[in-house]
Each structure stands twice: as structure tokens, then as C-alpha cells.
Chains A and B, each alone.
Chain A
Amino acid sequence: MSTEIMEFAELIKTPRVDGVVLHRPFMPTVEGTLCLTGHHLILSSRQDNTEELWLLHSNIDSIEKRFVGSLGHITVKCKDLRVIQLEITGMEECLNIASSIEALSTLDLVSLMYPFFYRPMFEVIEDGWNSFLPQNAFKDLESMTDEWRLSEVNKDFSLCPSYPPLVAVPKDFDDETLKKVATFRHGGRFPVLSYYHKKNGMVMMRAGQPLTGTNGRRCKEDEKLINATLRPGKRGYIIDTRAINVAQQAKARGGGFELEANYPQWRRIHKAIERYNVLQESLIKLVEACNDQSHSMDRWLSKLEASNWQTNVKEILTTACLAAQCIDREGASVLVHGTEGTDSTLQVTSLAQIILDPGCRTVKGFQSLVEREWLQAGHPFQQRCAQSAFSNSKPRHEAPVFLLFLDCVWQILRQFPCSFEFNESFLVLLFEHAYASQFGTFLGNSAAERARLCLPEKTVSLWSWVNRPQELERLTNPLYEPNSLVIWPSVAPQSLLLWEGVFLRWNRSSKCLDEAYEEMVHIIEYNKELQTKVNSLRRQLAQLETEDPLLHTP
């Protein structure tokens, strides 16, 4: 630990500057002392009731500096899309601060990340690291069906480095067969169970692409395994999240798709969900459009369109609806994959579950979904969320795959405002923590990496913090009424809105909308309060009457 602290100290050229002026959206300008620590940029005004700035270095996406005379301006652009300005007098101080922030915010070494240093200031009621263990999820499955088993074939992560140690697979397939299948799937991602639809026993599976290559390699075990998930006489759908030409091109690199001749009981459908840099580009353009100050309607609409963000939302939701439709309406099982099976595949499988399974629309259920379908399923969070919309560096593996998923959930939430136990704030919170956090939950790229990093022992889980009454209260939707039905969102362009809560959060004041939310809460709270009062009076009255049978209310 001490060597690490040494390391930070070397990076901090000037730990402290007085008389720094801070400008940020919707808050008064503050003047105070700027301090740099190993993990935070802190501005303290030393006045008790002024807001202070505590910014995680890991939340900083990029910084820009310019000078007007000896007055330096540093623009700090954050991964949560906030932009703040610092005014520092003195060129040397300013340059020192800027280069320190730059160095501290681009530290690559995971073990130096803040979650390893963070000590919770709250009482952990329930350790989030143990809240969503696969074996517990499997118990629920066992109560519905005996067709699946939990395999330990990947317990040392050797078969599939991006899978968790425990996965649900068809009961009749032994681990030896799974090993063969794994060699035929990208990244060793053999088909595993993603979701069991209790209503009709249909299932959704996910995998990596089959490694058919240009000469149409086959794998009998793969075919058997996939077929084994079908009920007698039933057909299934393979949803390939790539456009057919993209899937064709993948063959040249050893990948490919299932030929219908080899999987006669399955119908393959191609959808075109964008990947990696295309999505990152889309995010950058969208945020740029939102920050455009030109005030021209034409420019805004054309930039919004050109960003393709809403197109991506529509495409992902459409594909998720398709998967859900196959399962619920057609009574067919579904296998979803793209190339690696760690991005668009997970968007589709997780959103389909939101649509189909009321359990996923509760606070805990949604956490469990994120845990199962994203964290355990091997979405490489650390790579995807290394940079956000303001990054100047060339994107490597960055992509707002998870943010798009959250956006899609928000769209469904907007259309079914009473069917979710959580509110928009919960989705925004997950976005923030996926990109920068004091908690270890989103560190690493897979279960294997998280195990190697000993996260459960060395860091605090986001869920430990969230699942406390005071936080839950803030994140709970007051309108929630459990809805056991499948909820079909509209994917018409008119129905899909720009997620203001994330993309315009720092551009326009949300005061009036917040007030409306409070008003809504107030209406509901007041109703509950009256209900309690009336009930207690009713009891009191009944008691009075029974105490004295002679008396009757007039």
C-alpha cells in the first residue's frame, strides 16, 4: 500500500492551490482551495454551507487548458457528461494541476483504483457480494423445471475465461460434451441458459458465434445441445444480432453462423445491432449535439439524427421485443448470439427479460439481472467504460453498450411508468457507477478477473450501499404496482425519447421536473397517511363499540 501511495505522490505535482474559482452547471460559482489527492479532486471553500466538489479522478474523461494572460482555465469533462471549469491564477500552478489530473485520471492499473482504497462510512446491512450468487438463482430455476443443471465445468475459468464458474446447461449433457462445444464457440462461450419462461417452459440461451469458418465446420455436440433445449415437435429461433453481411464476413475470421441445414429445427433471424466503435462514435456525436449552443432547431435535429443514438436504441429494443415475442407469443425457444456474445447479445437477453419477467422490474430483480446478464455473463465493463463521450484518445475497446441497455430500460419505464419498482434515478446511478465508482462491482472484465482481483474481499459492492433503506427510498418508484404481465414497449420513433435525465442533465435545469416528481410523491404519501389514520380510527371506533355494547354510533 505504501508504495502505491508513493506512486500517487509522484504524480501530484502541486497538491494544493488557493483561490481557485469553480464554475459548474446550475450551481453558484465557488472560490476555494483546490486539493489533489490520489483519487479525488477536491475544492473546499471552507464555508460550512457551500457545496464542495469531490470528484473522482476516474470520473474525468478529458481535460482542456487554456490561458488568458496568467489566468489559467481548466475545463474538466466527466464521464457522467458533466463539464466543470476551474480558474487558476498562475501559469505554473495551472500546468501542474492540469498534468497531475491528466496523469491521475488515466491510471490503467486496476489495483490502484479507488475501490481498493475506499472504506465505507455506512453500515453494511447485507454484503452485496453475496446477494446474487448463481447457486441461489439456480434454486429458483429448480423450482420450475428439472431440465437444467448447474455445471462446474468452468470452475477454474479454463474452458471459457469470460464465463462464471457456474453455468446452467441442459441436464443431459455432461461436462465432457460441454468442453467439445466450447471449442466450437467464440471465446469458448458455449450455449448456456439465460432465461426460463415459466408461463410456457420456453427458454432463452446465449452463446458466442459458432466457429464455422469459411469451410462450414460443424460440431455435432453443439447441434445436439441446442436441439436438446427444444420440446418435441417445437421449433426454435436463433437471433443473430449482426446483419447477415456482417455475419458472412465473420466467417473469414473463423467465425460464422449456424447453417439451417445443420440446425433444421431452428430458424435464424439476423438483426443489425451496432458494435464497439460505431456505438462510441454515436455517443460522442450525441453528446456533442446536446452541448451545441447554436440554438438552431434544424441543426439540433440533424445532429441528433446523425448521431444515430436513437436508431441504436430502436434497433436494440426491436431485437429484444423479437426475442420476447418468439418466446411468449410463438411459444418457441431462442438462442441469441452476435460475435463474442458479450455485448449486443447481453443487451437483447437482458431487455427481453425485462419485457417478459415481472421479477426483473423490481429493485432486487434488476440488480440480479445486471449481475447475471452483465457482470457474470462477462460484459467487459472495464474496457467498455474506460472512456466516455469526451475522450480525446483513440477508442480502443470503449463502447456505451451498457448505457444503451439502460437507455432502453428507461424507454420501457417511460411507457410503463407503474410497472417498475425502481425509478429513473436508479438507472442514472448505474450509469455513473459503471463509469466511475468507489465500489468494486463494475471493476474488471469478467468473473475470472474479479476473482483474481479478490474484489469481494478488497472492495465494497455497490449493492451493499444501494440496498439500505435510505438509498432504496430515493431509488424506489412511488407509482409501482406489481404487474405480472408481459409488457410490450412501442418501438415507433415517436415513442422513443431522448433520455434527458442523462444527456441533458447538465444542460438544462431539472428543477421543475424534480418538483413535479416531489408533488407526485406527496400526493401518494398523503394518501397513505390518510389511509393509516382512517384505519386506526376505524379500529378505535370498533373497539369503543365492543367495549360498550349498549352504545351504538348514531
Chain B
Amino acid sequence: RRPNHDSTDECPKRKPKKKQNVSADGENQEEKVTSGSDSGLRVSSQVDEYEQDTSDEEDIRNTVGNIPMEWYKDYPHIGYDLDGKKIFKPIRNKDELDEFLDKMENPDYWRTIHDKMTGTDVCLSDEQVDLVHRLQQGKFGDVNFNEYEPAIDFFSNEVMIHPVTNRPADKRSFIPSLIEKEKVGKLVHAIKMGWIKPRRPKETAPQYYDLWAKEDPNAILGRHKMHIPAPKMRLPGHEESYNPPPEYLLTDEERQVWEQQDPDERKLSFLPQKYLSLRAVPAFSRFIQERFERCLDLYLCPRQRKMRVNVNPEDLIPKLPRPRDLQPFPTLQSLVYHGHSSLIRSISISPSGQWLVSGSDDCTVRFWEVCTTRCLKTMEVGGPVKSVAWNPAPSISLVAVSYGENVILVNPGLGDRLICSATDQLISSYEEPEEVKDQQVQWAVPEGKAQEQGQRLILTHPKAVKQVSWHGRGDYLACVMPDDGSSLQVVIHQVSRRRTQNPFHRNKGAVQCVSFHPSRPYFLVATQRYVRVYNLIKQELTKKLMANCKWISSMAVHPGGDNVICGSYDCRLAWFDLDLSTKPYKVLRHHKKALRGVAYHKHYPLFASGSDDGTVIVCHGMVYNVTACFCFSSLALSHISFYSVREWCVSIFSPQLFGLIDVYIANHIYSNLGCIVTITLPTLSSSQVRKASSSFALTLHCPKL
């Protein structure tokens, strides 16, 4: 099949094509062949007008048409001829045997075919057989037909003198198209309006060039003032190596911890791993994620300028004078006073500096000689002693002791006998006034044993007395009975006239402690948060000091009278300068726990604070700075006091749990004198006490004993 022939000549093609189609199936093929051969026969016998017309290939011998011939199977005839007469089947009855014999004997059997239309057997001629063979091979029926005739180029480039068709030209071929005109008009309009742009010429400029050719080093945009450059990626450490030192690998426990942690909490974002060779290292599975996260950080993460503190921590420590240069101050534990069997609540030193009195929970008051730690006198009272105070007047030998609701005034009978007897005389010389006022406190004179012990007066208060405090001249005594709801919290006794007065008529909060001003007629009252300073002569409030703390525990007034320190239960020590302000000049927070007691030294600029954390801190406080000089630890402090009578001796007493009083003294004076004596002290049976006391050196540096 040549497709090129299809287009060029149609006429010769038609017949063979049909025949080829037919040759595909068996039975029809033979029929058509016979009809073809018959038409050839017919040409010779009958000449009619339809000779050339091949379209009518109707079989004219039998007019039944193209029907299945089985329909005439049961009839004697097989159809009708042109004249309408029956065509009878040939009279023969060939059975299978005849057929077989015929097949065996007849040499032309293979070229004999049965014509179903006429019912006759036709023997094909040689030409016909040849034709069948050719058709079966897919060749043209005509032997002389040349399949490969040269094609005549009909529509060629050569201009013929005659037109191909003689058809007159359409009207539209010579009248310009309106539709096209419209379209072009639209395009022109669009171009004019700039809606259609001509195709851009391809850019010829190089992709990269010297961008910074004309760079101006000072050209920094305004925006860049606020610019915070992104930090660079963190550089990898040893643990990221493919072959790290073994200590960088995680142990099983660490690995478990790592796995359980939240990815954000992990210190390392990956598990360190060790590979024996570079060949064994696999791809890092989170590589793209990490790069992506970096991208996100770069454009999504809010940036903030953070001042990195690049300080040497040593620079932060304040430059204070060396404690050594600030001496004297107590540095060594030198004396321990054993004797009390329970907590010591309060101590006081005699104005002469020779004696020490201590009151304890074991219901005793003990009098000690300071230098020798010898207990000279023990006095039992009717309850746990809350407070003791030695009369500050050197001409009077009296000690106020408070226990329960009572305050007793004791003449210890120590020291100068003249003074003692003078004191006794002073007390006994009291004459009852004519008009006895009804007082809230009852004054009584003890008798018998109590008198022998030295008790001179007993003052019975309506409530428990917490603190007693002497006025500097030694005639007045203030007692504190803390009670939140009552106006009777502080009473002031005048010993010489055995009179009691209640200075305050209104309750201003629970009073914690009181103190007389050493030089001026002031009276300081510390409530929970404030220290009130009253003028006793004018009888008015002079100042109210705000302590900036939650609960004042103790207070001390400097002997000069200008400074006050307050200790509080919230670990603060507030230092007031009365001349400056009602606010603290300085607040120190060097204790870890509540402060229990504070004390001033009389001559040196020292103050001490004792706290529940078991430490006493001695500070050297000048106006320009405060330096902590010395800190020592002891157990459960309750009350501390400076020993500041003799110039050469700076010491601090700190009573401890289980009845010990430690004395720390400044050692340099003693060491100058160069006499070292070891003294030993009787110990207590309690193992706890031994533990506490044995941890200190028991060496006293002392000039003389």
C-alpha cells in the first residue's frame, strides 16, 4: 500500500481495493470471483448500455438478489431469471461419498467451485486461478498494472495558463474583511493605549558587575543606626566531631536523659557519635531543618540589643578598708562563762566594768566577774528571767531583773561597799507620801531570804514584762509589757519616789523595745515598723523613724546620741542618723536569718548584730562606709552586748544556748603586752554543749590575771 498513490489516481484503485477487501474472508471471495468472471462472460454475449457502468454488479442470471440461498433449500428451484421463470436446481444428489470420489478422481476438483446462485459446479480457468492467486498475495488483479508509475505533480509551482477551476472568485476575496478590520483596530487601539507592550528585548547587561565600585565608606543609611546584625552561627565544639574524644560521648544514663528532655531544653541539639572512619559517616538527617531554622531565626526572630555584662566579679566587691586597719575590734574568743543550765535571755555589764549580770530561763540570775569568769553570786527568782539591766549610774549599785509580771531591783553587793550601802540607804530612805495614789504597779519591799539575797524592791505589773531599761542617771526605769490591744504597754518608774507613770494614753502598735536617749531627754519606742522618738520634757512626739522592715526586734542607741540601729526579724539592720532623716541612712542585709540583738560600742565606731543564723557580725561603721570587721558563729544568740568600759579592751559578749557566754576580745593589745596564758574552764556535762564549746580555742591573751 502506497499512500501516495491513493491521492494521485483514484480510478484504477477502486476495483482492486474492493477485491482485496473481499479476499480477506473465505466464502464471499469465491462468489465475487465468479461474478467477476461472469461479467467477463457476459460482455461477450450481451452488449448493453451499462457496459461501462461497473456500479451495477447485480447478478442477472438469478434475480433473487443478495439473500442467503439456504432459503431456497427446500424448493426445487433456486430463483427466477429475468423473465420471471423459475430456475430449477440441477438434478443431482451428491452425497458425501460422491463428493469424496469426486475429490479423489477428478483432477480439476481443486479448481471446481459450487455456484450457489445457480447451483452449478464451475471449473475455473487458468487465468481465473491465476487471478485468485494474485489477489491472495495482495497484488493488483491486472497483471499489467504498474504500481510505481511516476506521480504527476498536479499542483506544482509552475503557473499554468488555465485555471484549475473555472469557478468565479468569491466576493469576500476582493472586499476587505470587516471582522479582521475590527480585530486589527482593537490591537492598534490596545497598542496605542499601552495595553499591549512589544516584547521586551533580552537584557544584555551582565548579571554580575562591580557593585561596590563607587563605595563610600561613610555611606551608612539612617536605618542602620538601629541595625542589629544577626549573630553568627555558633561554631562547633569537640562533641560535634565525627571522631570525638571518648569523654564527649554520652553515657547511657545521659543519653536517656537527653531523649526524655524536650527538644528545646536540650543542651546539645544532637547526639554526639563516634565513627571509626570518615567513610562510615552518614548524612546528617536534620541538615536541611537546621538551615531552615537558621533562616527562620534570621527573619522572624525579634532582635534586641542586650548588654552583655562583662565584669570581673572582683570589681563588684566594694573596695573597703582592710579590717586589719580598723582595729581594735574583737577577734578572738577568750572567755566562756559556764553556769547557766538553760537559755540566757539577757546580760548586762556594770558601769565599772568589773561585773556582769546574766538572766536565764533556768530562773536564776548570776553575777560574774568579767575578767575571771567566776560566778560570784547566784540568785533564784520566781520565773524565767526575761531581761536584766545594770543601773548605769556609777554611784548606785542596782540591777533590775524582770521575770514574769515582776521586776525586782537587786543590790548585788559587789564592788565598793560604800556604794552598796549608799544604795541600800537610798532605797530605805523612802518615805511614804501622805496621799497614796492608786498605781497600776505595786511596789513592795521583800523580806527574809529575798532581802538577804539582795532584792530590794519588787514591782508587780499587771502584765508580763519583757524588757527593762534604765535612764542614764539611774533614777528612772522603763518597762515594756508588749500587748497589741492595750494602751498600757510602757511604764516608767521613778525609783527614788517609788512612783509609776504611764506615758502613753493611746496604743500605737505593739511595742518591741524602748530606750532612753543617753544625753537628751528623749525616749525611743520601737513598735513593729517604726521607732518613735518622744521628747520627755515637752511630752510630744519628736520624730518617727521608718525602719523599712517588717518587724523590729531590737534597737540600740549610740552613746553619742546621734545614731540608732534597729535589728529586724526580716534579716535587716537599719542604721539611722537622727540628724539626717527619718529614713535609714543604710540598710544592711548581711545576715541570713532574723536579727535578735544589736549593740553599739561606747567609744569605737563599732556595732554588732547577732542573728538566728548563729552569727554575730561586728561592723566598723563610719559615715563614708561600713565595713564588716569580724564575723563569728555561735549557737542561738539572744542578746549581745559590747564591753566597752576599759579603753584597752574591746570585747563582745554573746550569750549562747545552754548557758554559755562567749567573750570575744580584740587581741592586738594583749599580744603587744606579750603574755599568753592558757586558761581552762570547767565544762558542762551536756554533750551538745561540749560540742559547741570545744570548737573554739580556749586561749586568752591577757596582760595579767
Same assembly: no
User: Which residues of chain B have a CB within 8 Å of any CB of chain A?
Assistant: none
User: Which residues of chain A have a CB within 8 Å of any CB of chain B?
Assistant: none
